[in-house]
Structure formats: structure tokens, C-alpha cells
Amino acid sequence: MTGTTGFIGLGLMGSPMAINLAKAGHRLRVYNRSPDKANPVQAHGALPCRTPADVAESGGIVVTMVADDAVLEKVTFGKDGFAHGLGRGGIHLSMSTISADTSRDLAARHRELGADYVAAPVFGRPNAAQAAKLWICQSGSAAAKQRVGPLLDAMGQGVYDFGEEVGAANVAKLAGNFMIAAALESMAEAYTLAEKHGLDRRMLSDFLTQTIFASPVYANYGGIVAAKQADWIGFVLRLALKDLNLVLDAAEAGRAPMPFANIVHDRLISAIAKGRGEEDWTAFTLGAVEDAGLPVAKSD
């Protein structure tokens, strides 16, 4: 093995993650569906490849950070997929937000080829990816996790281990995503209640997110919910529905009712029905505003 690492998926998150790997001295072979997305990381020395198969070295490591379960399956085991090239002794470091079932399925198929699989989904927005400040959950075999450790360290500020069952980290990621969405809805309801009683939404948000709720999630999103508008699109609402559906699929499979998740889900499909599918996903919080008969235009 010549020591290059494969990286597939150079979107808003994948691109800065790959750059951080390059900066940390890892030699990368990269692939993205739209090839021009490879330019920034190429500027840091990465070698762009024409197919997913081309990024893999036998016995090496391939990192994936792609849109969804279907794309991941395709770049791994589809035509021109990298799995067979990775082969015996290789590791698939799978960092996308996907279902636990997909992780289990991919891991089993890699195992037949002699390769290992680590699930390592991340928390953080593009700016956190850029600053190598992602929080990472991991699950998989101890040996594989040890081997990918340096890569994870180069991309995140901390790694939390969820054991050897490969799907566990994916469940943790989905649980966390759900909690973020629930936090947004709870702020939307609270600030809307306050607005209807004459309070200033931002004043309330500032108070709560600087004191008892002073955490990254509330601090990041509080102002957006208060203003009823995001300044830019961090994550498209239509894709947030996909993530929420992964949560609800996991709830269904686990026979675990999640009433809050249902409400957020319905806010998302209602937002799409009202034409907000391509806005920032925080636009689902306008549901609470409209239900209360308030205008959704920016409040400040």
C-alpha cells in the first residue's frame, strides 16, 4: 500500500473535511460526481479521480461523505464502486448521515471481501467542518477504529465511541439530529407564545440561549428562529425531511413512538407543501408562527 487515502463526496461538508485531511499530511485521491468540486482540495495536493473505484487502494482507507443511503450504496458497490478495489485489509470510513441498516448491510458485504467498516457520522455545520471542530460518533471493530483515529482527529474536535456494533453511531447521529429539530420547534413555540403576549422574540431568545440554554445548538439557531428567517441556506429543508424520515424509520423499526418527531416531520412536509422546500431547513419553524396567525416576514 502506497499510503494514499480515498475520499468520496466533496460537498459543503466533505470539501473542508478533505482539505483538513490534506493539511494534516494525508495524501488523498478524491472523487465527486461534479468534478469541479474537487478543485479546492486539489489545491491542497489531492489527486482527483474519474470514478469512485479509482480512489481506492487495496488494503487502504476510503472515506465517504455523500448525500444519502442510495448514493452511498452506489459509490461503494455499484458499477465503478470502490469496494472491490478496497478489498482485503481495507477500511471503509463512512461519515454520511445514513440509516443503521445501511451501515450493517455495507459492513456485511465489505466483510465478504475481507474489508472492515467504521461508521463515523459527524455533528457540525460547514464552518465547523472547516475549523476541524466537528463532533464525531464512531462504531465498528476496535482495530479499524484505531487505524482511522488519526483521520478523525484531523477533522474533528472530539470522537465519542459507541462500541463495536457498526449501526450504533448512526443511531446516535439520528437521535442527535432529532434533538436539534426538537429544540428548534420548542424555540418556535416559545418565541411565538411570547410574541403574542407582546414580548420581543430576540430579547427572549438572547436571554434563554445565553443562560440556561447556552449551548452551540441553541446559540446557533436561536437567532434564526427569533428572526423568522435564516441569512443563508445551511441545509436545504427538503433534505432535512430525508433525515427526519431516517429518524422515523428507526423509530418504526425499534417500535419506539416519538410524538415530537412526528410533529417536526409534519412541520417539514407542511413547509414543503407551502413552497419552502428549497429554503434553509429552519423555515419549518414558521409553522408555529402561522398557526398563531402571525406574519412570517422577518421580525427585525
* Residues in region 39-98 near its own copies by CB under 8 A: none
Nearest one of 185, 58, 59, 68 to 121, comparing CA atoms: 68
Q: Are strands 47-48 and 156-161 parallel, antiparallel or unpaired?
A: unpaired
Does the annotation count 242 as an active-site position? Answer: no
Question: Counting contacts by CB under 8 A, is residue 261 touching its own copies?
Answer: yes
Sort strands 27-31 and 4-8 into parallel, antiparallel or unpaired: parallel
By CB under 8 A, the count of residues binding its own copies is: 81
244 binds its own copies (CB under 8 A): no
Nearer to its own copies, 33 or 238 (CB): 238
Cα 126 from Cα 260, distance rounded (Å): 27
Residue placing its CB nearer to its own copies in the complex, 45 or 158: 158
Residues 6+ apart with CB under 8 A from 71: none
Smallest CA-to-CA distance from 75 within 99, 51, 39 is with: 51
Of 67 and 263, the one with the shorter C-beta distance to its own copies is 263
CB of 259 to its own copies, least distance (A): 5
Q: Does 183 bind its own copies (CB under 8 A)?
A: yes
Assess 257 for contact with its own copies (CB under 8 A). yes
- Quick check: 172 binds its own copies (CB under 8 A)? yes
Separation in Å, CA 30 to CA 122, 223, 226: 19, 37, 40
Catalytic one of 74, 79, 145, 173: 173
Binds its own copies by CB under 8 A, chosen from 91, 250, 283, 286: 250
Describe the strand order of the beta sheet including 134-138 as a list of residue ranges. 122-123, 134-138, 156-161
- Residue 91: φ, ψ to 5°: -135, 130
Q: How far is the CB of 13 from its own copies (least distance, A)?
A: 15
Q: Return the number of the residue (27 or 207) whose C-beta is nearest its own copies.
A: 207
How many C-beta neighbours within 10 Å does residue 54 have? 16
Least gap, CB of 56 to its own copies (angstroms): 30
Residue of 207, 278, 295, 300 interacting with its own copies (CB under 8 A)? 207
Q: Which of residues 187-206 bind its own copies (CB under 8 A)?
A: 187, 189-194, 196-200, 203-204, 206
17 binds its own copies (CB under 8 A): no
Short-list 82, 86, 14, 10, CA closest to 48: 10
Q: Which residues are catalytic?
A: 173
